[in-house]
Amino acid sequence: MSGFVNQLTLYFILEVLSSPFLVLSTATHCAMAAAEATSEIRKQALRVFDSEEEVSVSLAKYTAELSEKFVREKRAFTTVLSGGTLIETLRKLTEPPYLESVDWAKWHVFWVDERVVPKDHKDSNYKLAFDGFLSKVAIPSNQVYAINDTLSAEGAAKDYETVLKHLVNVGLLPLSSVTGYPVFDLMLLGMGPDGHIASLFPGHPLLNEREKWVTFIKDSPKPPPERITFTMPVIKSSAYVAMVVTGAGEVHAVSKALGSEKRSSDLLPVEMASLEDGEFTWFTDKAAVSMLKDKASM
């Protein structure tokens, strides 16, 4: 059943790349484009799976295919990780066949946000990713761009942006011809129950940052308070975003972000992240979209 859903979704992703929005119902196995999508929502696709396990399988396949595509096209693959449950859901990528088939030596790994703590601290996104992912695959350590954990939040954000600018200068990161911001191949993102992505929280002034690529926050509503984060324009400039949401914890934010009642005011950070020129795919399980089904007029 889920195999069928997956194929159907893939088919429609190709079909709707330039149309507003896709809602796929697992209940009825039919797909439709939501009529009321606003210009804020473009090129988004929704994949719904029966279980978190199936999300993990599909996310691994998707990531491996993008890796192959970008390595073929430009001999490098730039991937941006986040914290939370994302790393756990990526686990299938560290197993056969991907463990052997992915060209790990071409990977360059970044973080969409990071806590300003030592790299061996339990709150560190680097540590989370190292323990659950990076320690299991053969990515050269000089292609893993952790924050400099000896610096202040402000210093670490500046340092990270300097590193990104260097990678633009050496030709690893292209600048978007549309936005002028760096373009990452794939961002693997999660979302909080409040609809935050990276360390960009609802209603926070950092959402409006347009100059910097990387900035810092000292009053994160979620502990720890000090973090660095990519800014919204950088996220929006991605070539591909996988928004991975499983379980019931985020049902309200998912329902608002994907529901048909759209208002342009009062957008959640996840809703602001529509891509300028990329493909945004939601990877969800049934629990995550359980409030959405009621709303879908199938």
Binding region for ligand NAG (CB under 6 A): 148, 150-151
User: In the bound complex, what is the minimum distance in angstroms from residue 126's beta carbon to ligand NAG?
Assistant: 12
User: In the bound complex, what is the minimum distance in angstroms from residue 130's beta carbon to ligand NAG?
Assistant: 15
If phi over 0 gives left and psi between -120 and 50 gives alpha, with beta otherwise, what is residue 126?
A: alpha
Residue of this chain nearest to ligand NAG (CB atom): 148
Judged by CB, which is closer to ligand NAG: 72, or 166? 166
Judged by CB, which is closer to ligand NAG: 147, or 275? 147
Judged by CB, which is closer to ligand NAG: 16, or 151? 151
User: In the bound complex, what is the minimum distance in angstroms from residue 149's beta carbon to ligand NAG?
Assistant: 8
Q: Which of 209, 226, 208 is nearest to 217 (CA)?
A: 226
Judged by CB, which is closer to ligand NAG: 144, or 248? 144
Judged by CB, which is closer to ligand NAG: 19, or 150? 150
- Cα distance between residue 99 and residue 88, in whole Å: 16
User: In the bound complex, what is the minimum distance in angstroms from residue 224's beta carbon to ligand NAG?
Assistant: 19
User: In the bound complex, what is the minimum distance in angstroms from residue 163's beta carbon to ligand NAG?
Assistant: 8
Q: Which of 230, 224, 225, 283 is nearest to 258 (CA)?
A: 283
Q: Which of 72, 11, 40, 21 is nearest to 262 (CA)?
A: 40
Query: Number of helices and strands (H, E) in the chain?
Result: 10, 11
- Cα distance between residue 159 and residue 214, in whole Å: 9
